[in-house]
A and B are shown apart, each in its own frame.
Chain A
Amino acid sequence: MRADLELIYDWVPDNARILDLGCGDGTLLAALARHKNVTGYGLEIDADGIAACLGKGVNVLEQNLDDGLGNFVDDACDLVIMTQALQALRRPDTMLDEMLRVAPECIIAFPNFAYWKHRLHLTFRGRMPVSRSLPHAWYDTPNIHLSTFQDFAGLCRDKGVTIVDEAVGSADHEGHWTSRLWPNLFGETAIFRVRRGR
């Protein structure tokens, strides 16, 4: 499993009802269902991902996240997870509202634009960073709302959302979860666990 998914896996309580936004091939949901008795749905727009989910017995809905979560009622589940999708949304802020409407808690992972390599790239080359976690050129990237670890913490503060837990990691599969001291600088991927209200 991807390193960020492994950390998230550990954060999910047993028997939770969850929603995984941008669930890909359903790896996380399938593992959670098998070992933690978790139930829920994945949302995905890639047909190969949807087919893979169905093969794993994961409930998956073809749904564009930019269309919102209107088909889910308030508190439809316990936890909403969104990995590597925040930066591609038209309105990440309203999606955060939506996520905390359908569940009291959510976990969000996204590439930290303030990662030191990105900073060096921009500072010394004067061009938009291209890296493992941000592999696209500026003109064809789906990542239209890049943000930093601190930016997201600020958004939560402004919205009155409580940060329960936060972590950073590298985008590779080493599962190297350090950089507690300077997450905004050394974290390649930012992961937040937030709760509705103060």
Chain B
Amino acid sequence: MSASFPSDSVGLVTPQTATFESPLALACGKTLERFDLVYETYGTLNAEHTNAVLICHALSGHHHAAGYHTVDEHKPGWWDAYIGPGKVIDTDRFFVVSLNNLGGCHGSTGPASIDPQTGHQWGPTFPVMTVADWVHSQARLADRLGIERFAAVVGGSLGGMQAMQWTMAYPERVANVAVIAATPRLSAQNIAFNEVARQAIRSDPDFHDGWYADHDAIPKLGLKLARMIGHITYLSEHSMGSRFGRDLRSDQLNFGYDVEFQVESYLRHQGDTFSTRFDANTYLLMTKALDYFDPAGQHDGDLAAALSPAACPFLVISFTTDWRFAPARSRELVSALLRAGKAVSYINVDSPHGHDAFLLPNDQYEAVFGSYMRRIHADISGETA
């Protein structure tokens, strides 16, 4: 490990690819005959294979959750604040697995991959994935890595939905689960925001009905708008206000439509960056997976019934200023778990940062989550916490 990395960083990491040749049946009725999953691991799997932790990523996330790919990389993985030696998800204790989900655009099989049937990019014909599909594919990866049962499955936002799904689909393979800043289903408002994002992408002339690669085009404008609207929902009114207020980029109003307010500049920058690093078809697919997730839907709306297979203790965490997946959504999950008689703990962490809070350092969050993870490790190693 290079000395230039912080001491609590996992340091240099190298993504790996697992190829699966046996077919994966999907919720949409289609089948993926073969697929690749790109993943990273941090820490060491113990001899009993009992210390594995699965990290599930959110809408625009990927396998690179911690550490650095190169010595020059200026930003570490997306959850580096919580994964590393001595951190909440302590890589001195746990073997951490983080993957890029199917349909993603960071190396796992997705819309930009070649469809073996046609020899051509999947593009918009790539099957619409569901959270359940992802979890099945993640179970295949666990098999490959020799992990019969995860010490914990952990995820924030859309990742939290996957964590939830694990407890229903593979209850015997999850010892603990942490569902963070998530929801048991999207509200109409959540779906509405996703639909605006999708329409922004699909109405971009460069989208070409999803075949933009054939036209050497990228629907940048659409992706940018999608990210801008998404980003608004990730922040709280307070965090946006305290960061930008009504600050202007120059000293005076220009009575025009160029960037004037700092918040406009920030959103445009976020959108621009995103539009060159994220795939439009993947974005559409991920938002659909969010919209479709509704485990209670198959049980006449009874979430407790849906959760009845779950066999592990839950930790549910929400954040006070999160209005995308508000604390009330987490409490719905908690209430359903109580009705189902499941072991559950819940905390609503005080944070001004809205939905994004789950990614950011926060003493209270770290204390509670850290305490939970240390107890999990104590259980594995037979110590008293």
Question: Looking at the complex, which one of A57, A61, A76 makes contact with B334 (CB distance below 8 Å)?
Answer: A61
Residue from the list A48, A59, A71, A76 in contact with B345, Cβ < 8 A? A59
Q: Which of chain A's residues has its CB closest to B332's CB?
A: A71
Interface of chain A residues 63 through 118 with chain B (CB within 8 A): 63, 71-73, 76
Residues of B within 8 A of A51 (CB): 367-368, 370-371
The listed residue with most A CB atoms (<10 A of its CB), out of B331, B334, B346, B364, is B346
| Residue from A55, A60, A62, A71 in contact with B385 in the complex, judged by beta carbons closer than 8 Å | A55
B143 proximal to A (CB < 8 A)? no
State the total of A-B contacts with C-beta under 8 angstroms.
60
A56-B375 CB under 8 A given contacts A47-B367, A71-B331, A71-B338: yes
A55 touches B375 (CB 8 A): yes
A35-61 vs B, Cβ < 8 Å mask (1 yes, 0 no): 000010100000110111111111111
A31 to chain B, nearest CB (A): 13
Is residue B87 contacting chain A, with contact meaning CB distance below 8 A? no
* B344: nearest chain-A partner, CB-CB: A59
Question: Interface code B145-158, partner A: CB below 8 Å = 1, 0 otherwise?
Answer: 00000000000000
A76 vs B339: C-alpha distance in the bound complex, in angstroms?
A: 8
Q: Is B347 an interface residue (CB 8 A)?
A: yes
Chain B: minimal CB distance from A40 (Å): 10
Check B334–A71 contact: CB distance below 8 A: yes
Chain A interface, >50% SS class:
mixed
In the assembled complex, which residues on chain A have CB atoms less than 8 Å from the CB atom of B379? 57
B364 engages A61 (CB within 8 Å): no
Which secondary structure dominates chain B's binding surface? helix
Question: Given contacts A59-B313, A59-B345, A61-B334, is CB(A54)–CB(B368) below 8 Å?
Answer: yes
> Does B18 touch A at the CB level, under 8 Å?
no
Answer yes or no: B323 CB below 8 A from chain A CBs: no
Q: Once bound together, how far apart are the Cα atoms of A78 and B378, in whole Å?
A: 30
Residues A60 and B345 in contact, CB atoms below 8 Å apart: yes
Size bracket, chain B contacts: 20 to 34
Most chain B CB inside 10 Å of its own CB: which residue of A56, A59, A60: A59
Cα–Cα distance between A61 and B345 once the two chains are bound (Å) = 5
Measured as residues with beta carbon below 8 angstroms from the partner, the interface class of chain A is: 20 to 34
Which A residue's beta carbon lies closest to that of B366?
Answer: A51
- Alpha-carbon gap, A52 to B385, bound state (A): 10
| Min CB–CB distance B317 → chain A (angstroms) | 10
**Which chain A residue shows the least CB distance to B374?**
A55
- Nearest B residue to A47 via CB reads B364
| Cβ contact within 8 Å between B344 and A73 | no
Does B335 touch A at the CB level, under 8 Å? yes
Q: With A47-B367, A71-B338, A76-B338 given, is the CB distance from A62 to B348 under 8 Å?
A: yes
Residues of B contacting A61 with CB < 8 Å?
Answer: 334, 344-346
B211 on the A face (CB < 8 A): no
How far is it, in angstroms, between the C-alpha of A76 and the C-alpha of B340 when the chains are bound? 10
B residues sitting closer than 8 Å to A (CB atoms) are 313, 315, 331, 334-335, 338-339, 343-350, 364, 367-368, 370-372, 374-375, 379, 385
19 residue pairs of the A-B complex, CB under 8 angstroms, read: A41-B338, A47-B347, A48-B367, A50-B347, A50-B368, A51-B367, A51-B371, A53-B345, A54-B372, A54-B375, A55-B371, A57-B375, A59-B345, A63-B346, A71-B331, A71-B334, A71-B338, A72-B338, A76-B338
Query: Lowest 5 CB-CB distances: which A-B pairs, in order?
Result: A55-B371, A71-B335, A54-B371, A51-B371, A54-B372
